Structure 1
Amino acid sequence: MQFSLWLALVGAGALISFTPGAGAINTMSNALNSGFRRSIWGILGQQAALVVHITIVALGVGLLVANSPVAFNIIRYAGAAYLVYLGVRQFLAKPSLDAESAQALRDEPRWSMFRRGLWVNLLNPKAIVFFLAFLPQFIRLDRPVLPQYLIAAATVIVIDVLVMWLFFAGTARSFQRFTRDARGQRVLNRIFGVLFVGVGILLATIH
């Protein structure tokens, strides 16, 4: 991949990562509930989903999904339902002021956070369609394709990890003062619950 083309990919990848979405909401929620450092496990789950999406596009399966209304809608509505489920659960979550409950929340298993991050990004067919339109612009067919896709995948993933962890998870730190009392926790739970539900509804309704 040419250096100038790679720089363009870096710029586009950064712009995409900074665009708020379900992944950003999930990252901030994890950072608030489990702490800045442990939020990385949810982010890694989201990156695993990106690997799957990029692989699907590279293999040409993404084109089949994009052109199959049935397959697209099944994935779309499943993803929307999952986001709404996360939102309702967050909205109804009770404040945890006692030390034992708060510690249990912060000690959520790493695999649980990873798995939630994976499904949040995986059940988004629009990501497949987006990568289908986005990645080929940086791939030159007159050169070996596999190395180019590997470079593109590594670039997009590294950028997304940095943005999710250093920006969105880091931003969540400024909200931690609201978690010190029941009212603050309830407000944050409802805000993030509404955000999850809102993104889920957008996923289901926007074509």
Structure 2
Amino acid sequence: MNPSLWLALLGAGTLISFVPGAGAVNTMSNALAVGFRRSIYGILGQQAALLVHIGVAAAGVGILVTNSPLAFNLIRYAGAAYLVYLGVRKFLQQPEHSEVRASQAAETALSMFRRGLWVNLLNPKAIVFFLALIPQFIRPDQPLLGQYGILAATVIAVDLLVMWFFYAGTARSFRRFTQHDRGQVLLNRTFGSLFVGVGAILALA
């Protein structure tokens, strides 16, 4: 991949990563619940899902999904239902004392990874996005494995940095609200509503 093409890929990946979506909401919610450093587990799950989407699109399976309204809608509604489920659970979550949050934080690395994985994996828009993105940056007359490796590494590195240092970092400034019950309730309901809202958009768009 030549430098000018890579710079175009870098710009596209950066722009898309900054657009708020389910991954951003999930990252900020995790950062508020368990802190900036431990939010990386959810972000890594989201990146694993992006890697799967790139592989699916590269294999051409994504074309079959987007050409099948039934398959596409099944994935879309499953993703929307999962986001709504997360939102309702977050909205109804009760305030927790600091010692309870500390004990839960030690147990949630794997669950955060799984949640991040499913949040991005059940997003059919990602499949459509990579189907549109990949042909613009892959040259069929050149070795494909290296090109796909560069594309995957670039997109995932950019998204990881944006999610962790921008979205998780932004959430860190709100963490002082979690020190008292009223602030926790407000933030739980805010992020619960955001999850439900993103799910509704995914289902209706």
TM-score (norm 1): 0.97
Aligned equivalents of 1:205 and 1:192: distance in 2?
20
Aligned equivalents of 2:191 and 2:20: distance in 1?
13
1:34–1:108 Cα contact (<8 Å) kept: no
Q: CA deviation at 1:134?
A: 1.2
1:24 corresponds to which residue? 24
Aligned equivalents of 2:105 and 2:56: distance in 1?
34
2:117 corresponds to which residue? 118
What CA deviation, in whole Å up to 9, does each residue of 1:92-147 have, x standing for no partner? 000112x3322133223311110000000000111101110112101111111221
2:7 corresponds to which residue? 7
1:42 corresponds to which residue? 42
Aligned equivalents of 1:180 and 1:32: distance in 2?
11
User: Structure 2 vs 1, CA of residues 136 and 148 (structure 1 numbering), >3 Å: closer, same or farther?
Assistant: same
* Pair 1:61 & 2:61 matched: yes
Aligned equivalents of 2:160 and 2:125: distance in 1?
20
- Flag structure 1 segments of 5+ consecutive residues without an equivalent: none
Q: CA RMSD in A?
A: 0.8
Percent identical residues? 71
Q: Number of matched residues?
A: 205
Counterpart amino acid of residue 177 in structure 1? R
Counterpart amino acid of residue 34 in structure 2? S
Aligned equivalents of 2:106 and 2:201: distance in 1?
31
1:45–1:117 Cα contact (<8 Å) kept: yes
What CA deviation, in whole Å up to 9, does each residue of 1:2-55 have, x standing for no partner? 110000000110000000000000000101101111100000000000000000
TM-score (norm 2): 0.98
1:84–1:201 Cα contact (<8 Å) kept: yes
- Flag structure 2 segments of 5+ consecutive residues without an equivalent: none
Counterpart amino acid of residue 144 in structure 1? P
1:33–1:105 Cα contact (<8 Å) kept: no
2:48–2:117 Cα contact (<8 Å) kept: yes
